[in-house]
Amino acid sequence: MILAALASAAVIFFKIGEIKVTGETIYTKEEIIEASNIHVGQSMFLFNKFASISNIFAVCPYIDEIQMRRSLPDTIEIIVTPCVPAVAVRSDGNYYLIDAKGKILQKIGNLKDDSVPVVTGGQLSDPEVGKYAEFLDEESSKALFSVLNTAKNNDILNNIGDIDITRVYEINFKFQNRFLVKVGGADDMEHKFRFLQAVIDSLGENEMGIIDVSDGKTGYFTLDRSII
């Protein structure tokens, strides 16, 4: 009875007095709080945390992760981690900005700069902002995300340029604004990236050309200053 009384008292007397937002995103604190549907004066314990998180994701697609913490006596803290566009995929006359996990962040008519690599080849299936990208051809998805995930795992995603997956067995992409990299199919991508790095390490800082690691056994460099 004592425990029940304490629990009831907590529900009744502990009200939200402050909502804090931590983390840098393109959204304002006010936009995130509004999306959460949490309000000052609500019970600290009766609001649905999972529904609030789901609401934020639905309204704010550029957010990657959300944590929500109760800090007694009266503070709710929303901790957010932003999504970062990794590539732009052209589909049905529009460009869709997609992060490395495949989440569609934004739909735009035209790219105004080359800050985001463009994916050539592959057709999205019913793309929707806030959802995860699906391709009409599953092999196109495998080709793209094998490159992005391997680059992310090796902390070199920022070095990846335009990606061509028109032929999923002849994937290629630009790298460091110096190289055109031919990786062949999507298999054994981790090994191919190791060969890529080994070839780059053997070259001078100003070398430009084609690096072919498509056989998965070694890497070959061909000097070509016209590719970039």
- What pLDDT band is residue 41 in, cutting at 50, 70 and 90? very high
193 has a pLDDT exceeding 80: yes
pLDDT at residue 178 in the model: 94
46 has a pLDDT exceeding 50: yes
pLDDT at residue 1 in the model: 54
pLDDT at residue 106 in the model: 94
pLDDT at residue 22 in the model: 96
Query: Are 203 and 221 in contact, with CB atoms under 8 Å apart?
Result: yes
Separation CA 138–CA 144 (nearest Å): 10
9 has a pLDDT exceeding 50: no
Mean pLDDT of the chain: 91
122, amino acid identity = G
- Three-state DSSP at 114 gives coil
Over residues 62-85, the mean pLDDT reads 94
Domains and CATH numbers, the chain: 2-82 (3.10.20.310), 87-223 (3.40.50)
Q: Percentage of residues in the chain with pLDDT exceeding 70?
A: 93
Helix boundaries (H) for the chain: 2-13, 29-36, 49-59, 138-153, 189-201
Reading the block at residue 96, the tokens are 């869709």
pTM attached to this predicted model: 0.85
- What pLDDT band is residue 169 in, cutting at 50, 70 and 90? very high
pLDDT at residue 111 in the model: 81
7 has a pLDDT exceeding 60: no
Over residues 56-66, the mean pLDDT reads 95
pLDDT at residue 104 in the model: 96
Query: Are 196 and 212 in contact, with CB atoms under 8 Å apart?
Result: no
pLDDT at residue 225 in the model: 79
What angle (nearest 5°) sits at the alpha carbon of residue 58, between those of residues 52 and 64?
A: 90
Q: Percentage of residues in the chain with pLDDT exceeding 90?
A: 80
59 has a pLDDT exceeding 90: yes
CB-neighbour burial class of residue 176 (10 A; exposed 0-12, middle 13-18, buried 19+)? middle
Over residues 199-218, the mean pLDDT reads 93
- Three-state DSSP at 31 gives helix
Widest distance between CA atoms in the chain: 81
CB-neighbour burial class of residue 59 (10 A; exposed 0-12, middle 13-18, buried 19+)? middle
44 has a pLDDT exceeding 50: yes
Reading the block at residue 70, the tokens are 């109760």
Distances from the Cα of 17 to the Cα of 40, 44, 80, angstroms? 5, 9, 20
pLDDT at residue 83 in the model: 94
